[in-house]
Amino acid sequence: MFQINRDLVVVGAGPAGMGAALSARENGVNDILILERADKAGGILPQCIHNGFGLHRFREELTGPEYALRFVKALEKENIEINLNSMVIDITPDLIITVMGRSQGVMRIKAKAAVLAMGCRERTRGAIQIPGSRPAGVITAGAAQRFVNIEGYMPGKEIVILGSGDIGLIMARRLTLEGAQVKAVCEIMPRSGGLRRNISQCLNDFDIPLLLNTTVCEIHGRERVTGVTVARVDGQMRPIDGTKQYMPCDTLMLSVGLIPENELSRAAGVNLAGNGGAAADKYMRTNIPGVFACGNVVHVHDLVDYVTEESEEAGKNAACYILGKAIEGKGYTFHEKVIEDDEKLEADERKLTCIVCPVGCSMTVRLDGRGGVMSVSGNKCRNGKDYAIEEFTAPKRVLTSTVHADLDGKRTFAPVKTNGTIPKGMLLQAMREISKVRLNKPAPAGEAVIKDLLGAGVDVVLTDDLQP
């Protein structure tokens, strides 16, 4: 085993790690190494093919692969080194980092400073203790997302989803577009944990029921899931007698929360906060000198834009530590999760969250009873009003999906999106057209794979570079 010396080591090449590395370079550190256990940079973003990223950071709506690609290109431009397929297995308090990789075997790195950016992981069935046997067909939402969007496999045909956070809502739509029947989304709390825009676009668009105050209390099946029993719960989250209902299905998908990934933080002696995240101050410093943390290892963020913002603070201050400079500035302000209060509406009123810009105005739309819009309030610009009128008279959507690719005999899937909106009623027909596409040569992000989709005046374009 050999040892090398580096100024800054960043653990994780997701949005937090990439943002921290770029910020450190901008603030004067040249010797930077990013260690990433996967075979591609971007963290979870490559499998998040849906749009909704970048509204705060770039003032435009991007898919996950597009957001990640911007940072990958920036790293390449700055010649910042990334070791992929490299698993960090230990970090000591004096910053000796042990890493195991395909090309270099096992080696140690002595760093002047380190940024912890390992992200988070999903809670599993064991964490929520659902009774029943252990059949195939119980899967977390993130695993299902990877199967569908990266590997091209469907986890099942008849699906019940437990948990209504944004990942669960987005996968309800994705699985429906791919031909599955999502029986229901069950949420043990009295309100959804996801954004209203996702409830509207992911559930209401496809008539998928959202069952609040409801949980899965038993899983049926031996070799494969055959169904689940759901029940309403009381104020102590206990199933209410007489409310149990059997739902036949072949898959139970769990979207029941995320946990900061901090085994390495513990090894380094980093103190953890009550949420399980690394305890970091507003400068993203931990209790170990030279160790900084950012992103979902600190706390699970709602928006990747905030992860980037936080990681830039960590990278800047890690650079100050390495260069012996005093840390200046006010530090990072942590963003609290925005809870949208339910409001009492008149019979002819509807609530709507605008998605045109990062402000995300909460609007009230008054209907005239014939499908028309009488008035729109709550919007801060004309675009919001135009969006509200379109949403209630002729709704349109951007469609994201994947296409088949065969490069050098290797089967893969490439993420795509429509470069404009199409009528909501055309989504399933558009999916059938996209499923016919077969690519057999490399292509850059932005290249059209279908011109003028179904005569709607929009193209289907790649959202990531397609490479062997």
- pLDDT at residue 345 is higher than 70: no
Q: How confident is the model at residue 1 (pLDDT cuts 50, 70, 90)?
A: low
Q: Kindly state the average pLDDT of the residues 366-392.
A: 85
Q: What does the pLDDT read at residue 383?
A: 86
CA distance 320 to 135: 52
pLDDT beyond 90 at 138: yes
Beta bridge partners of 51: 63
Distances (CA, A) of 134 to 158, 238, 325, 419: 18, 22, 55, 43
Per-residue model confidence (pLDDT) at position 2:
66
* pLDDT tens, position by position, 193-235: 887 778 888 998 899 999 999 999 999 999 999 999 999 999 8
For residue 233, give Cα distances in angstroms to 123, 215, 430, 445: 21, 7, 40, 47
In the predicted structure, residue 103 carries a pLDDT above the cut 90? no
Q: What is the mean pLDDT of residues 372-383?
A: 87
* Confidence at residue 210, expressed as pLDDT on a 0 to 100 scale: 95
The pLDDT value given to residue 144 = 96
Q: Considering just the CA atoms, what is the radius of gyration of the chain in Å?
A: 23
| Residue 369: pLDDT over 80 | no
Which of 94-103, 199-208, 245-254 has maximum average pLDDT? 245-254
The pLDDT value recorded for residue 159 is: 98
Residues 417-451 have pLDDT tens digits of: 999 999 999 999 999 999 999 999 999 999 999 99
Higher pLDDT, residue 256 or 125? 256
Calculate the alpha carbon distances from 169 to 12, 115, 253, 425 in Å: 27, 32, 11, 19
Question: Of the spans 255-259, 277-281, 375-379, which averages the highest pLDDT?
Answer: 277-281
22 pLDDT exceeds 60? yes
> What average pLDDT does range 375-382 have in this prediction?
88
**Residue 344: its pLDDT value, please?**
56
Structure confidence at residue 302 as a pLDDT band (50, 70, 90) = confident
Give the C-alpha separation, 52 to 67, whole Å.
10
Mean pLDDT of the 103-115 span: 92
Q: What is the mean pLDDT of the chain?
A: 91
pTM given for the model: 0.91
Residue 58 above 80 pLDDT?
yes
Buried b (16+ CB within 10 A) or exposed e, 334-351: ebeeeeeeeeeeeeeebe
In the chain, the percentage of residues whose pLDDT exceeds 90 is 71
Q: Which of 132-146, 170-184, 383-397 has the lowest mean pLDDT?
A: 383-397
Q: What pLDDT is attached to residue 82?
A: 96
Which of 51-60, 286-295, 356-365, 403-412 has the largest mean confidence? Answer: 286-295
Average pLDDT of the segment spanning 308-329: 94
- What confidence score (pLDDT) does residue 328 get? 83
Nearest CA among 363, 367, 344 for reference residue 353:
363
Is the per-residue pLDDT at 342 higher than 80? no
